[in-house]
Amino acid sequence: MEMMDNHSDVDPEATKEPLKRGVDINYGIDDSPPWYLSIFMALQHYLTMIGAIVSIPFILTPALCMEDEDPSRGIIISTMIFVTGLVTYIQATWGCRLPIVQGGTISFLVPTLAILNLPQWKCPSKDVIAALDPEAKTELWEVRMRELSGAIAVSALFQVFIGYTGLVGKLLKIITPLTIVPTVSLVGLTLFSHASETASKHWGIAVGTIFLMTLFSQAMTGVNVPTLKYRKGHGLKIGWFPLFKLFPVLLTIVIMW
């Protein structure tokens, strides 16, 4: 028998190798993880974003002249979570369908706190607030909430205007990522005092959470854990699962809680 020339007689389409995935990616944007993994991944995603969503009301409510034990704080937090889920569902179903959670943004916190620091919106002393009846306490924060809602509504109309007129494309030629990234970073740094105040209530939990999160997500991503796998027709087998790479947030929260 004659040997066939592998370079000339083989169908070139048959020799094409599948696209190689990056070593740091387990599931691509078009992949579907197993249903049982999807449940835990969804839970981890929820725990990741719920902190950012809940932190916004916790930062705003003191500036809205609300006491720590005010039941209205729970209403604001639950409203924030419900609206986030509703908007995310609408966006992922009928909107742009981006794989994101459409929630609140800390970018509005700095101008919001600036508005609430104006002389007419500064809170009275704690003794004065404590002496008010429930209706007066509610009116105290609702009038400030209405002021903020109006400011956000006007800014949203301006955003719609520059979007429909095409000014965004022209502005991005001048306002490059070199200016956007430092601005967003500075916005986050301005909120450090609120984060440190919350962490100071128990430095052990705060430092332990940071340490475990960094350890699992950065140093132990290459450590695989032996697990039992079942395949139809093959029975149980021992496989290696990238536990720390896929679930660093979930593991950290389970351990620290």
* φ/ψ (deg, to 5) at 72: -65, -20
Are 89 and 100 found together in one domain? Answer: yes
The answer to whether residue 18 is domain-embedded is no
Count how many domains the chain has.
2
Are 71 and 188 found together in one domain? Answer: yes
Are 93 and 142 found together in one domain? Answer: yes
The Cα–Cα gap between 129 and 121 comes to 14
Say if residues 33 and 41 touch (Cβ distance below 8 Å): yes
Instruction: Indicate the residue type of 99.
Output: P
The answer to whether residue 15 is domain-embedded is no
Which sign does the torsion angle of CA 219, 222, 226, 229 carry?
positive
Are 111 and 158 found together in one domain? Answer: yes
Taking alpha carbons only, the member of 248, 181, 213, 192 closest to residue 55 is 192
- Picking from 186, 201, 216, the residue at the C-terminal end of a domain is 201
pTM as predicted: 0.69
Are 85 and 162 found together in one domain? Answer: yes
Query: Which range marks the domain in which residue 124 is found?
Result: 33-201
Are 108 and 128 found together in one domain? Answer: yes
Are 90 and 180 found together in one domain? Answer: yes
Say if residues 82 and 50 touch (Cβ distance below 8 Å): no
The Cα–Cα gap between 57 and 74 comes to 9
- And the tokens for 18? 């599948």
Are 156 and 105 found together in one domain? Answer: yes
Are 208 and 196 found together in one domain? Answer: no
Are 177 and 60 found together in one domain? Answer: yes
Q: Dump the DSSP string for 208-247.
A: HHHHHHHIIIIISTT--EEEEEEETTTEEEEEEE-HHHH-
Q: Encode the chain (257 residues) as per-residue pLDDT tens digits.
A: 334 444 444 443 444 444 455 557 778 777 888 888 889 998 998 888 888 888 888 889 999 999 888 889 999 999 999 999 999 999 888 888 887 888 888 778 888 989 999 999 999 998 999 899 999 999 999 999 999 999 999 999 998 998 899 888 888 888 888 888 888 788 778 778 878 888 888 899 999 999 999 999 999 988 999 888 877 777 788 888 889 999 999 999 999 98
